[in-house]
Amino acid sequence: MAKERSLFKNESFYEVLFFLTALACMLAFVLIQPFGEGPDEINRFRIVWYISEHGILPKGDDPEVLIPGYGGSYAFQPMLPYMIQGYLLWFLHLFTERFDMLLVSARMVNVLFGLGCAYYARKLSKLFFPDTLSQWIFSCLVVFLPQSIFIHTYVNTDSCALFSVMMMFAAALTGCRKGFGRSQCIQLAVGIVLCMLSYYNAYGAILVSAVLFLTHFINKVPAGSITADGTASPKDRYYIEFRPLLRKGCFIALLVLIGAGWWFLRNAILYQGDFLGMQARNQCVALTCTPEFHPLLRPTYQNQGVGVLEMVFGTDFFTLLSRSFVAMFGPMIIPTHYYIYETYYRIFAAGLVAALIPVGHELYLNWQSTRHKWLINICMGIACIIPIVLCVYYSYSWDFQPQGRYLLPMLPAFMYLVTLGIKKILFLLQALSDKLHLRTFTPILPKLFGGLLLFFITAALLYSVFAVMVPHYL
Protein backbone atom coordinates (compact mmCIF):
# COMPACT_ATOMS: atom_id res chain seq x y z
CA MET A 1 0.00 0.00 0.00
CA ALA A 2 2.90 2.35 0.70
CA LYS A 3 4.04 2.11 -2.92
CA GLU A 4 0.54 2.75 -4.19
CA ARG A 5 0.13 5.86 -2.05
CA SER A 6 3.51 7.22 -3.14
CA LEU A 7 2.58 6.64 -6.78
CA PHE A 8 -0.59 8.72 -6.54
CA LYS A 9 1.25 11.47 -4.70
CA ASN A 10 3.81 11.66 -7.50
CA GLU A 11 3.17 14.65 -9.77
CA SER A 12 4.72 12.78 -12.71
CA PHE A 13 1.96 10.15 -12.50
CA TYR A 14 -0.71 12.80 -13.12
CA GLU A 15 1.36 14.40 -15.86
CA VAL A 16 1.59 11.07 -17.71
CA LEU A 17 -2.12 10.38 -17.14
CA PHE A 18 -2.97 13.86 -18.47
CA PHE A 19 -1.03 13.33 -21.71
CA LEU A 20 -2.26 9.77 -22.19
CA THR A 21 -5.89 10.85 -21.78
CA ALA A 22 -5.47 13.59 -24.39
CA LEU A 23 -3.67 11.20 -26.75
CA ALA A 24 -6.30 8.45 -26.37
CA CYS A 25 -9.15 10.86 -27.14
CA MET A 26 -7.35 12.31 -30.17
CA LEU A 27 -6.49 8.84 -31.53
CA ALA A 28 -10.13 7.79 -31.19
CA PHE A 29 -11.09 10.58 -33.60
CA VAL A 30 -8.13 10.01 -35.92
CA LEU A 31 -8.80 6.29 -36.34
CA ILE A 32 -12.61 6.26 -36.36
CA GLN A 33 -13.97 9.39 -38.06
CA PRO A 34 -14.30 8.93 -41.85
CA PHE A 35 -12.39 11.04 -44.34
CA GLY A 36 -14.02 14.44 -44.79
CA GLU A 37 -15.92 14.47 -41.50
CA GLY A 38 -13.80 17.30 -40.12
CA PRO A 39 -14.92 20.73 -41.36
CA ASP A 40 -13.90 20.95 -45.03
CA GLU A 41 -11.21 18.29 -44.57
CA ILE A 42 -11.60 17.07 -48.16
CA ASN A 43 -10.77 20.46 -49.67
CA ARG A 44 -7.90 21.04 -47.27
CA PHE A 45 -6.52 17.60 -48.08
CA ARG A 46 -6.40 18.53 -51.79
CA ILE A 47 -3.35 20.69 -51.00
CA VAL A 48 -1.69 17.93 -48.95
CA TRP A 49 -2.26 15.44 -51.77
CA TYR A 50 -1.00 17.87 -54.42
CA ILE A 51 2.27 18.35 -52.52
CA SER A 52 2.65 14.60 -51.99
CA GLU A 53 2.09 13.94 -55.71
CA HIS A 54 4.11 16.80 -57.23
CA GLY A 55 6.64 17.66 -54.52
CA ILE A 56 5.97 21.41 -54.90
CA LEU A 57 3.52 23.93 -53.48
CA PRO A 58 0.39 24.61 -55.54
CA LYS A 59 -0.73 28.02 -56.72
CA GLY A 60 -4.04 29.11 -55.34
CA ASP A 61 -5.81 28.79 -58.70
CA ASP A 62 -4.37 25.40 -59.65
CA PRO A 63 -7.28 23.26 -60.93
CA GLU A 64 -6.25 20.31 -58.72
CA VAL A 65 -6.83 22.24 -55.48
CA LEU A 66 -9.89 24.32 -56.41
CA ILE A 67 -12.98 23.79 -54.25
CA PRO A 68 -15.84 22.49 -56.46
CA GLY A 69 -18.78 24.87 -56.59
CA TYR A 70 -17.47 27.33 -54.03
CA GLY A 71 -14.41 28.23 -56.09
CA GLY A 72 -11.00 29.36 -54.92
CA SER A 73 -8.84 27.16 -52.70
CA TYR A 74 -7.03 27.00 -49.39
CA ALA A 75 -3.71 27.34 -51.23
CA PHE A 76 -3.94 31.14 -51.16
CA GLN A 77 -3.66 31.08 -47.36
CA PRO A 78 -0.67 30.07 -45.19
CA MET A 79 -0.19 26.30 -45.44
CA LEU A 80 2.76 25.22 -43.30
CA PRO A 81 0.84 22.27 -41.74
CA TYR A 82 -0.22 21.12 -45.24
CA MET A 83 3.42 21.29 -46.32
CA ILE A 84 4.53 19.11 -43.41
CA GLN A 85 1.73 16.65 -44.11
CA GLY A 86 2.29 16.73 -47.87
CA TYR A 87 6.00 15.99 -47.74
CA LEU A 88 5.38 13.32 -45.10
CA LEU A 89 2.95 11.61 -47.49
CA TRP A 90 5.42 12.07 -50.35
CA PHE A 91 7.93 10.08 -48.30
CA LEU A 92 5.37 7.45 -47.24
CA HIS A 93 4.39 6.91 -50.87
CA LEU A 94 7.70 5.06 -51.15
CA PHE A 95 6.33 2.36 -48.85
CA THR A 96 2.55 2.28 -49.26
CA GLU A 97 -0.29 3.52 -51.46
CA ARG A 98 -3.03 2.70 -48.94
CA PHE A 99 -5.12 5.84 -48.60
CA ASP A 100 -6.30 5.05 -45.07
CA MET A 101 -2.72 4.81 -43.80
CA LEU A 102 -1.74 8.00 -45.58
CA LEU A 103 -4.76 9.85 -44.17
CA VAL A 104 -4.04 8.72 -40.61
CA SER A 105 -0.40 9.75 -41.05
CA ALA A 106 -1.44 13.23 -42.15
CA ARG A 107 -3.82 13.55 -39.23
CA MET A 108 -1.09 12.43 -36.82
CA VAL A 109 0.84 15.62 -37.60
CA ASN A 110 -1.98 17.55 -35.92
CA VAL A 111 -2.05 15.05 -33.04
CA LEU A 112 1.58 16.01 -32.39
CA PHE A 113 0.55 19.67 -32.37
CA GLY A 114 -2.16 18.68 -29.88
CA LEU A 115 0.37 17.04 -27.58
CA GLY A 116 2.50 20.16 -27.95
CA CYS A 117 -0.48 22.21 -26.81
CA ALA A 118 -0.81 19.96 -23.76
CA TYR A 119 2.88 20.50 -22.98
CA TYR A 120 2.57 24.28 -23.22
CA ALA A 121 -0.68 24.23 -21.24
CA ARG A 122 1.23 22.73 -18.33
CA LYS A 123 4.03 25.26 -18.80
CA LEU A 124 1.62 28.21 -18.94
CA SER A 125 -0.30 26.95 -15.92
CA LYS A 126 2.85 27.19 -13.79
CA LEU A 127 3.54 30.70 -15.06
CA PHE A 128 0.00 31.88 -14.34
CA PHE A 129 -0.71 30.23 -10.98
CA PRO A 130 1.47 29.23 -8.00
CA ASP A 131 -0.78 26.46 -6.64
CA THR A 132 -1.10 22.97 -8.10
CA LEU A 133 -4.93 22.88 -8.08
CA SER A 134 -5.27 26.02 -10.23
CA GLN A 135 -2.56 24.74 -12.55
CA TRP A 136 -4.50 21.55 -13.19
CA ILE A 137 -7.82 23.37 -13.61
CA PHE A 138 -6.28 25.64 -16.26
CA SER A 139 -4.50 22.75 -18.01
CA CYS A 140 -7.62 20.59 -18.17
CA LEU A 141 -9.86 23.47 -19.30
CA VAL A 142 -7.49 24.20 -22.19
CA VAL A 143 -6.71 20.65 -23.30
CA PHE A 144 -9.79 18.63 -22.31
CA LEU A 145 -12.38 20.98 -23.81
CA PRO A 146 -13.91 18.54 -26.34
CA GLN A 147 -13.59 20.97 -29.25
CA SER A 148 -9.94 21.55 -28.37
CA ILE A 149 -9.30 17.80 -28.70
CA PHE A 150 -11.30 17.59 -31.94
CA ILE A 151 -9.33 20.35 -33.67
CA HIS A 152 -6.17 18.21 -33.55
CA THR A 153 -7.70 15.18 -35.29
CA TYR A 154 -8.29 16.12 -38.93
CA VAL A 155 -6.40 17.97 -41.64
CA ASN A 156 -6.45 21.72 -40.92
CA THR A 157 -4.21 24.65 -40.00
CA ASP A 158 -6.11 25.55 -36.80
CA SER A 159 -4.19 22.96 -34.78
CA CYS A 160 -0.79 24.46 -35.61
CA ALA A 161 -2.18 27.96 -34.96
CA LEU A 162 -3.36 27.03 -31.46
CA PHE A 163 0.02 25.42 -30.73
CA SER A 164 1.82 28.56 -31.94
CA VAL A 165 -0.32 30.82 -29.74
CA MET A 166 0.48 28.79 -26.65
CA MET A 167 4.16 28.67 -27.57
CA MET A 168 4.29 32.46 -28.01
CA PHE A 169 2.54 33.15 -24.71
CA ALA A 170 4.79 30.71 -22.84
CA ALA A 171 7.93 32.28 -24.33
CA ALA A 172 6.73 35.85 -23.72
CA LEU A 173 5.70 35.21 -20.10
CA THR A 174 8.88 33.26 -19.35
CA GLY A 175 10.83 36.19 -20.80
CA CYS A 176 8.90 38.62 -18.63
CA ARG A 177 9.71 36.48 -15.59
CA LYS A 178 13.33 35.49 -16.18
CA GLY A 179 14.46 37.92 -18.87
CA PHE A 180 14.53 37.41 -22.61
CA GLY A 181 17.55 35.20 -23.04
CA ARG A 182 18.44 33.56 -26.33
CA SER A 183 16.19 30.56 -25.67
CA GLN A 184 13.09 32.70 -25.00
CA CYS A 185 13.79 34.88 -28.05
CA ILE A 186 14.13 31.83 -30.31
CA GLN A 187 10.96 30.23 -28.93
CA LEU A 188 9.05 33.47 -29.38
CA ALA A 189 10.30 33.80 -32.96
CA VAL A 190 9.43 30.17 -33.77
CA GLY A 191 5.95 30.68 -32.33
CA ILE A 192 5.44 33.80 -34.46
CA VAL A 193 6.64 31.98 -37.59
CA LEU A 194 4.31 29.03 -36.97
CA CYS A 195 1.43 31.43 -36.38
CA MET A 196 2.12 33.51 -39.50
CA LEU A 197 2.33 30.37 -41.65
CA SER A 198 -0.81 28.73 -40.31
CA TYR A 199 -3.89 30.91 -39.69
CA TYR A 200 -4.69 34.61 -40.08
CA ASN A 201 -7.30 34.51 -37.28
CA ALA A 202 -4.53 33.82 -34.75
CA TYR A 203 -2.47 36.90 -35.64
CA GLY A 204 -3.87 38.81 -32.67
CA ALA A 205 -1.70 36.64 -30.42
CA ILE A 206 1.38 38.01 -32.20
CA LEU A 207 0.30 41.54 -31.24
CA VAL A 208 -0.25 40.51 -27.62
CA SER A 209 3.13 38.75 -27.44
CA ALA A 210 4.82 41.83 -28.91
CA VAL A 211 3.23 44.04 -26.24
CA LEU A 212 4.42 41.70 -23.48
CA PHE A 213 7.91 41.72 -24.99
CA LEU A 214 8.08 45.50 -25.32
CA THR A 215 6.75 46.28 -21.85
CA HIS A 216 9.39 44.05 -20.27
CA PHE A 217 11.96 46.71 -21.17
CA ILE A 218 9.97 49.57 -19.60
CA ASN A 219 11.09 50.05 -16.00
CA LYS A 220 10.34 52.47 -13.20
CA VAL A 221 12.80 54.63 -11.29
CA PRO A 222 11.31 55.32 -7.82
CA ALA A 223 11.25 58.91 -6.58
CA GLY A 224 14.57 59.97 -5.06
CA SER A 225 16.64 57.24 -6.74
CA ILE A 226 19.99 58.16 -8.22
CA THR A 227 20.01 57.51 -11.97
CA ALA A 228 22.96 56.54 -14.19
CA ASP A 229 23.67 60.18 -15.03
CA GLY A 230 24.06 61.03 -11.32
CA THR A 231 20.76 62.90 -10.94
CA ALA A 232 17.75 62.16 -8.76
CA SER A 233 14.11 62.52 -9.79
CA PRO A 234 11.63 64.03 -7.29
CA LYS A 235 8.89 61.66 -8.53
CA ASP A 236 8.53 58.21 -10.05
CA ARG A 237 9.84 58.06 -13.56
CA TYR A 238 9.68 55.43 -16.33
CA TYR A 239 12.44 54.68 -18.80
CA ILE A 240 12.98 52.26 -21.69
CA GLU A 241 16.04 50.03 -21.99
CA PHE A 242 16.55 50.77 -25.67
CA ARG A 243 19.76 48.84 -26.23
CA PRO A 244 18.60 45.35 -25.10
CA LEU A 245 15.16 46.03 -26.59
CA LEU A 246 16.59 46.76 -30.02
CA ARG A 247 19.18 43.99 -29.87
CA LYS A 248 16.76 41.25 -28.88
CA GLY A 249 13.90 42.68 -30.92
CA CYS A 250 16.02 42.73 -34.07
CA PHE A 251 17.18 39.18 -33.39
CA ILE A 252 13.56 37.98 -33.16
CA ALA A 253 12.56 40.02 -36.22
CA LEU A 254 15.43 38.52 -38.25
CA LEU A 255 14.40 34.98 -37.35
CA VAL A 256 10.77 35.75 -38.24
CA LEU A 257 11.80 37.33 -41.54
CA ILE A 258 13.84 34.25 -42.47
CA GLY A 259 11.19 31.80 -41.27
CA ALA A 260 8.03 33.43 -42.63
CA GLY A 261 9.07 36.19 -45.03
CA TRP A 262 9.50 33.80 -47.95
CA TRP A 263 5.79 32.95 -47.95
CA PHE A 264 4.63 36.55 -48.27
CA LEU A 265 7.30 37.26 -50.87
CA ARG A 266 6.05 34.22 -52.83
CA ASN A 267 2.48 35.54 -52.63
CA ALA A 268 3.57 38.99 -53.80
CA ILE A 269 5.32 37.45 -56.82
CA LEU A 270 2.48 35.06 -57.72
CA TYR A 271 -0.44 37.43 -57.11
CA GLN A 272 0.75 40.81 -58.43
CA GLY A 273 1.82 42.25 -55.08
CA ASP A 274 -0.99 40.75 -52.98
CA PHE A 275 1.32 39.41 -50.26
CA LEU A 276 -1.57 38.15 -48.10
CA GLY A 277 -3.28 36.45 -51.04
CA MET A 278 -6.72 37.55 -49.85
CA GLN A 279 -7.63 39.73 -52.83
CA ALA A 280 -6.29 37.12 -55.24
CA ARG A 281 -8.41 34.49 -53.51
CA ASN A 282 -11.56 36.61 -53.81
CA GLN A 283 -10.89 37.15 -57.52
CA CYS A 284 -10.30 33.44 -58.00
CA VAL A 285 -13.55 32.61 -56.20
CA ALA A 286 -15.46 34.98 -58.48
CA LEU A 287 -13.96 33.31 -61.59
CA THR A 288 -14.24 29.65 -60.56
CA CYS A 289 -17.39 29.39 -58.42
CA THR A 290 -20.86 28.41 -59.53
CA PRO A 291 -23.39 31.29 -59.74
CA GLU A 292 -25.04 30.61 -56.37
CA PHE A 293 -21.67 31.06 -54.61
CA HIS A 294 -20.57 34.20 -56.46
CA PRO A 295 -19.40 36.84 -53.93
CA LEU A 296 -21.57 39.55 -55.48
CA LEU A 297 -24.67 37.36 -55.40
CA ARG A 298 -24.11 35.58 -52.09
CA PRO A 299 -26.56 36.92 -49.47
CA THR A 300 -24.87 38.23 -46.34
CA TYR A 301 -26.27 40.06 -43.36
CA GLN A 302 -24.23 43.09 -44.38
CA ASN A 303 -25.60 43.41 -47.92
CA GLN A 304 -29.11 42.73 -46.61
CA GLY A 305 -28.83 45.71 -44.27
CA VAL A 306 -29.19 43.65 -41.08
CA GLY A 307 -27.28 45.01 -38.08
CA VAL A 308 -24.39 43.12 -36.46
CA LEU A 309 -26.14 42.84 -33.08
CA GLU A 310 -29.28 41.54 -34.77
CA MET A 311 -27.22 38.85 -36.48
CA VAL A 312 -25.46 37.86 -33.27
CA PHE A 313 -28.45 37.82 -30.92
CA GLY A 314 -31.45 37.73 -33.27
CA THR A 315 -30.45 34.56 -35.12
CA ASP A 316 -28.97 31.20 -34.13
CA PHE A 317 -25.46 32.67 -34.52
CA PHE A 318 -24.65 32.95 -30.82
CA THR A 319 -26.09 29.53 -29.96
CA LEU A 320 -24.19 27.76 -32.75
CA LEU A 321 -20.96 29.62 -32.02
CA SER A 322 -20.99 28.93 -28.29
CA ARG A 323 -22.00 25.28 -28.74
CA SER A 324 -19.34 24.60 -31.34
CA PHE A 325 -16.75 26.26 -29.11
CA VAL A 326 -17.44 23.60 -26.48
CA ALA A 327 -18.18 20.53 -28.62
CA MET A 328 -19.60 20.03 -32.10
CA PHE A 329 -18.03 17.15 -34.01
CA GLY A 330 -18.01 16.13 -37.64
CA PRO A 331 -19.24 18.77 -40.11
CA MET A 332 -21.02 20.63 -37.27
CA ILE A 333 -23.69 17.93 -36.90
CA ILE A 334 -22.67 15.85 -33.86
CA PRO A 335 -23.40 17.62 -30.54
CA THR A 336 -22.60 16.34 -27.09
CA HIS A 337 -25.01 16.18 -24.13
CA TYR A 338 -27.15 19.22 -23.34
CA TYR A 339 -25.99 19.36 -19.71
CA ILE A 340 -22.34 19.49 -20.75
CA TYR A 341 -23.02 22.69 -22.68
CA GLU A 342 -25.06 24.20 -19.86
CA THR A 343 -22.45 23.37 -17.21
CA TYR A 344 -19.60 24.76 -19.29
CA TYR A 345 -21.56 27.98 -19.95
CA ARG A 346 -22.05 28.46 -16.21
CA ILE A 347 -18.38 27.78 -15.49
CA PHE A 348 -17.33 30.31 -18.15
CA ALA A 349 -19.80 32.96 -16.99
CA ALA A 350 -18.96 32.60 -13.29
CA GLY A 351 -15.23 32.58 -13.98
CA LEU A 352 -15.23 35.63 -16.26
CA VAL A 353 -17.41 37.70 -13.91
CA ALA A 354 -15.39 36.74 -10.84
CA ALA A 355 -12.12 37.53 -12.65
CA LEU A 356 -13.17 41.19 -12.57
CA ILE A 357 -13.46 41.25 -8.76
CA PRO A 358 -10.46 43.24 -7.40
CA VAL A 359 -9.36 40.74 -4.75
CA GLY A 360 -6.68 38.10 -4.36
CA HIS A 361 -3.85 39.77 -6.26
CA GLU A 362 -1.42 37.42 -4.53
CA LEU A 363 -3.21 34.36 -5.95
CA TYR A 364 -1.82 34.58 -9.49
CA LEU A 365 1.27 35.78 -11.35
CA ASN A 366 2.97 36.09 -7.97
CA TRP A 367 6.30 36.74 -9.68
CA GLN A 368 4.99 40.03 -11.12
CA SER A 369 4.20 43.44 -9.67
CA THR A 370 0.58 44.54 -9.42
CA ARG A 371 1.04 46.91 -12.38
CA HIS A 372 2.38 44.14 -14.59
CA LYS A 373 -0.40 41.80 -13.45
CA TRP A 374 -2.98 44.27 -14.70
CA LEU A 375 -1.06 44.60 -17.97
CA ILE A 376 -1.00 40.83 -18.52
CA ASN A 377 -4.71 40.59 -17.67
CA ILE A 378 -5.50 43.32 -20.21
CA CYS A 379 -3.35 41.55 -22.81
CA MET A 380 -5.21 38.29 -22.19
CA GLY A 381 -8.49 40.15 -22.58
CA ILE A 382 -7.34 41.60 -25.91
CA ALA A 383 -6.25 38.10 -27.00
CA CYS A 384 -9.86 37.02 -26.45
CA ILE A 385 -11.51 40.01 -28.10
CA ILE A 386 -9.58 39.93 -31.40
CA PRO A 387 -10.68 36.41 -32.55
CA ILE A 388 -14.27 37.19 -31.51
CA VAL A 389 -14.30 40.41 -33.55
CA LEU A 390 -12.74 38.69 -36.58
CA CYS A 391 -15.22 35.82 -36.35
CA VAL A 392 -18.24 38.14 -36.16
CA TYR A 393 -16.91 40.34 -38.98
CA TYR A 394 -16.30 37.35 -41.26
CA SER A 395 -19.79 35.95 -40.64
CA TYR A 396 -21.40 39.36 -41.12
CA SER A 397 -19.59 40.47 -44.26
CA TRP A 398 -18.58 37.29 -46.07
CA ASP A 399 -20.01 33.93 -45.06
CA PHE A 400 -22.37 33.08 -42.20
CA GLN A 401 -20.42 30.24 -40.55
CA PRO A 402 -20.66 30.49 -36.75
CA GLN A 403 -18.02 27.85 -35.99
CA GLY A 404 -16.40 27.74 -32.57
CA ARG A 405 -13.07 26.68 -34.07
CA TYR A 406 -12.64 30.27 -35.27
CA LEU A 407 -12.41 31.27 -31.59
CA LEU A 408 -9.87 28.65 -30.52
CA PRO A 409 -6.86 31.03 -30.90
CA MET A 410 -8.22 32.74 -27.76
CA LEU A 411 -8.38 29.45 -25.81
CA PRO A 412 -5.31 29.86 -23.50
CA ALA A 413 -6.13 33.50 -22.70
CA PHE A 414 -9.83 32.75 -22.21
CA MET A 415 -9.22 29.78 -19.92
CA TYR A 416 -6.67 31.81 -17.95
CA LEU A 417 -9.34 34.41 -17.16
CA VAL A 418 -11.90 31.69 -16.36
CA THR A 419 -9.44 29.90 -14.04
CA LEU A 420 -8.53 33.21 -12.41
CA GLY A 421 -12.22 33.83 -11.69
CA ILE A 422 -12.66 30.33 -10.26
CA LYS A 423 -9.64 30.90 -8.02
CA LYS A 424 -11.13 34.17 -6.77
CA ILE A 425 -14.47 32.45 -6.07
CA LEU A 426 -12.72 29.81 -3.97
CA PHE A 427 -10.76 32.56 -2.20
CA LEU A 428 -13.99 34.39 -1.32
CA LEU A 429 -15.65 31.16 -0.16
CA GLN A 430 -12.73 30.53 2.17
CA ALA A 431 -12.98 34.08 3.50
CA LEU A 432 -16.72 33.60 4.09
CA SER A 433 -16.07 30.28 5.84
CA ASP A 434 -13.61 31.98 8.19
CA LYS A 435 -16.07 34.80 8.87
CA LEU A 436 -18.77 32.26 9.79
CA HIS A 437 -16.28 30.51 12.08
CA LEU A 438 -16.37 27.34 9.98
CA ARG A 439 -12.60 27.07 9.91
CA THR A 440 -12.75 23.29 9.75
CA PHE A 441 -14.14 23.57 6.23
CA THR A 442 -11.89 26.40 5.05
CA PRO A 443 -8.88 24.33 3.93
CA ILE A 444 -10.98 21.64 2.21
CA LEU A 445 -13.19 23.98 0.16
CA PRO A 446 -10.71 24.44 -2.72
CA LYS A 447 -10.01 20.71 -2.88
CA LEU A 448 -13.70 19.86 -2.83
CA PHE A 449 -14.85 22.32 -5.49
CA GLY A 450 -11.66 22.01 -7.53
CA GLY A 451 -11.92 18.21 -7.49
CA LEU A 452 -15.54 18.34 -8.64
CA LEU A 453 -14.62 20.72 -11.43
CA LEU A 454 -11.74 18.53 -12.64
CA PHE A 455 -14.02 15.49 -12.50
CA PHE A 456 -16.63 17.25 -14.65
CA ILE A 457 -14.09 18.46 -17.23
CA THR A 458 -12.58 14.99 -17.62
CA ALA A 459 -15.91 13.17 -17.56
CA ALA A 460 -17.39 15.59 -20.13
CA LEU A 461 -14.51 14.87 -22.51
CA LEU A 462 -14.63 11.10 -22.09
CA TYR A 463 -18.42 11.09 -22.52
CA SER A 464 -18.25 13.30 -25.61
CA VAL A 465 -15.63 11.09 -27.26
CA PHE A 466 -16.52 7.56 -26.21
CA ALA A 467 -20.27 7.84 -25.60
CA VAL A 468 -21.15 10.29 -28.41
CA MET A 469 -18.56 10.31 -31.21
CA VAL A 470 -17.49 6.65 -31.20
CA PRO A 471 -21.05 5.19 -31.22
CA HIS A 472 -22.07 7.70 -33.91
CA TYR A 473 -19.48 6.36 -36.36
CA LEU A 474 -19.44 2.72 -35.27
User: pLDDT tens digit string along 442-456?
Assistant: 788 888 999 999 999
Residue 299 is predicted with a pLDDT of 80
Residue 5 is predicted with a pLDDT of 45
Q: What does the alpha-carbon distance between residue 324 and residue 337 come to, in Å, rounded to a whole number?
A: 12
For 215, what's the count of Cα atoms within 13 Å in the CB-facing half-sphere?
20
Q: What does the alpha-carbon distance between residue 127 and residue 216 come to, in Å, rounded to a whole number?
A: 15
Q: What does the alpha-carbon distance between residue 191 and residue 309 come to, in Å, rounded to a whole number?
A: 34
Give the sign of the dihedral formed by CA 205, CA 209, CA 214, CA 219: positive
Strand partners, 328: 335
pLDDT digit of tens for each residue in the chain (474 aa)? 344 445 556 778 899 999 999 999 999 999 999 999 999 999 999 999 999 999 999 999 999 999 998 899 999 999 999 999 999 999 999 999 999 999 999 999 999 999 999 999 999 999 999 999 999 999 999 999 999 999 999 999 999 999 999 999 999 999 999 999 999 999 999 999 999 999 999 999 999 999 999 999 987 766 666 655 566 666 667 778 889 999 999 999 999 999 999 999 999 999 999 999 999 999 999 999 988 888 777 788 888 888 889 998 988 899 999 999 999 999 989 999 999 999 999 999 999 999 999 988 888 998 888 888 999 999 999 999 999 999 999 888 887 688 999 999 999 999 999 999 999 999 998 888 888 877 777 788 888 999 999 999 999 999 999 999 999 998
Q: What does the alpha-carbon distance between residue 90 and residue 211 come to, in Å, rounded to a whole number?
A: 40
